[in-house]
Amino acid sequence: KTTLFWFRRDLRLEDNTGLFYALQQEESVLPLFIFDRNILDLLEDKKDARVEFIHREILDIKAQLEKKGSSMLVRYGKPEEIFPELLEEYDIQSVYTNRDYEPYAKERDKQIEKLLKEKSVSFFAFKDQVIFEPGEILNGSGEFYKVFTPFSKTWLEKFKESQVEPLGEPKWKNLQKIDPLKEITLGEMGFEKSEIEIPSRVADKDIISHYDQTRNFPAKDGTSRLGIHLRFGTISIRKLAKIAFNLNETYLNELIWREFYMMILGYNPQVVDQAFKPAYDQIPWRNNETEFEAWCEGKTGYPIVDAGMRELNITGYMHNRVRMIVASFLTKHLLIDWRWGEAYFAKKLLDFELASNNGGWQWAAGTGTDAQPYFRVFNPESQTEKFDKDLKYIKKWVPELGTSSYPKPIVDHKFARQRAIDTYKKALDQ
């Protein structure tokens, strides 16, 4: 009898909760990964670096498992179609996995669990991608927190109490002994290699130690760049949170933001396409397509905005400070729907994470959980003055700055600021 361990966004062998317990409790564990067509078919860019990254990681894990005398089942298709096939091919008694809190993933798992139960196969899911999952951090009345600061306080208290530690060495002897199984190439799935480089998965202790001083300056190498590794689980959150707790509170606070937005999405799946504060769905967005295109291409004539968008287009990354500036610019200066910006980021960001991206965009647009009033509009010039004073970051991405080939500002700042405030006010007063 076989037990499957189904990898999803937990692509590592060490400190992987579901895998650990499968090997602890069962005797013939065979790992599985499904390249999910429900997700892949939606990707327009066939050179998507994230697909290439996952593919590389899967082959690497498969090779590591083969060194241990086992292998990995790698399939391409829709989970709801793959599982019935697997049930025919193998004598499966249970399926282990780690929980995922996105609306699609929750629905998928419900469907798979049902399908397995009908064949008397058990389904076990574990907490793995977060320290505390939606529902574990609640206020005094047992409700979810709507603002970050009290959430983070409770989170931290609970973290200290629970002494979260990475798991030890799994019982590898319980892996199923099997000859190497078939691989799938990127090409067979219709994808190609990209030119984008993936940041290292090593948590740089020097960067994390100085994070509170360096994190706001986009020209500095002052943030960890671990976003993609947290997204796909190529680093363990328990290991990282422990490093953060010992080295830098500000960094730990960012990991708490990640869980805050996951919790918000968990309790409010409607935020995927609606404002967290419903009244803000009244805003009559201008949605000018030419302006949106200029924003996407980094041609707004606002150097800090253009630098950010070009960094994103070329590297799949954008510094957090600049994400806030470009998002504010799109939603406030251009009055373009935050959902347009969110979708563009989702396509481009290596570290795209539905909950954080949605949270970040709704924060910038003023439609989200934050208590910040809508009339605070980021001024690109003073942001530059504060965070890129010598224009080092800007010049890296906008080398033609100051020449005639650099575009004129797409809109006047003072005018746009007032227009945003008036538009928001009118919509919210209705």
Measured CA distances, 104 to 7, 54, 133, 194, 266 (Å) = 16, 19, 17, 26, 11
Active site residue 340: no
Quick one: tokens of 272? 């995927």
d(CA 293, CA 334): 12
Which residues are CB-contacts of 190 (< 8 A; sequence separation ≥ 6)? 46
The catalytic position among 38, 66, 254, 268 is 254
d(CA 290, CA 83): 45
Evaluate whether 26 touches 117 at the Cβ level (below 8 Å): no
Closest distance between ligand FAD and the C-beta of residue 228, in Å? Answer: 8
Which residue number has the CB closest to ligand FAD?
360
Q: Which amino acid is at 262?
A: M
Active site residue 254: yes
* DSSP string of 375-392, one letter each residue: T----HHHHHHHH-TT-H
Q: Which amino acid is at 324?
A: M
Active site residue 16: no
Closest distance between ligand FAD and the C-beta of residue 350, in Å? Answer: 9
Closest distance between ligand FAD and the C-beta of residue 26, in Å? Answer: 32
d(CA 268, CA 164): 27
Burial of residue 320 (number of CB atoms within 10 Å: 0-12, 13-18, 19+): middle
Nearer to ligand FAD, 208 or 410 (CB): 208
Active site residue 172: no
The catalytic position among 6, 155, 338, 340 is 338
The catalytic position among 174, 216, 288, 320 is 320
d(CA 284, CA 287): 9
Active site residue 155: no
Residue written as tokens 């002494």? 163
Nearer to ligand FAD, 17 or 223 (CB): 223
Nearer to ligand FAD, 70 or 129 (CB): 129
Nearer to ligand FAD, 287 or 418 (CB): 287
CA 177 to chain CA mean position, Å = 35
Nearer to ligand FAD, 38 or 320 (CB): 320
The catalytic position among 102, 174, 257, 379 is 257
Closest distance between ligand FAD and the C-beta of residue 264, in Å? Answer: 10
Residue written as tokens 């190439």? 185
d(CA 17, CA 99): 10
Nearer to ligand FAD, 31 or 341 (CB): 341
The catalytic position among 285, 288, 313, 379 is 285
Quick one: tokens of 210? 């100085």
Which residues are CB-contacts of 289 (< 8 A; sequence separation ≥ 6)? none
Binding site for ligand FAD (CB under 6 A): 215, 223-227, 230, 254-255, 257-258, 261, 320, 323-324, 327, 345, 349, 351-353, 356-357, 359-361, 364
Closest distance between ligand FAD and the C-beta of residue 388, in Å? Answer: 16
Q: Which amino acid is at 258?
A: R
Query: How many Cβ atoms sit within 10 Å of the Cβ of residue 387?
Result: 18
Task: Enumerate the β-bridge partners of residue 94.
Answer: 3, 122
Nearer to ligand FAD, 245 or 257 (CB): 257
Q: Which residues of 107-121 are buried (b: 16+ CB within 10 A; e: fewer)?
A: ebbeebbebbeeeeb
- 128 φ, ψ (degrees, to nearest 5): -145, -40
The catalytic position among 6, 155, 295, 361 is 361
Active site residue 285: yes
Closest distance between ligand FAD and the C-beta of residue 237, in Å? Answer: 9
Nearer to ligand FAD, 364 or 411 (CB): 364
Radius of gyration from C-alpha coordinates of the chain: 23
Q: Which positions are catalytic?
A: 254, 257, 285, 320, 338, 361
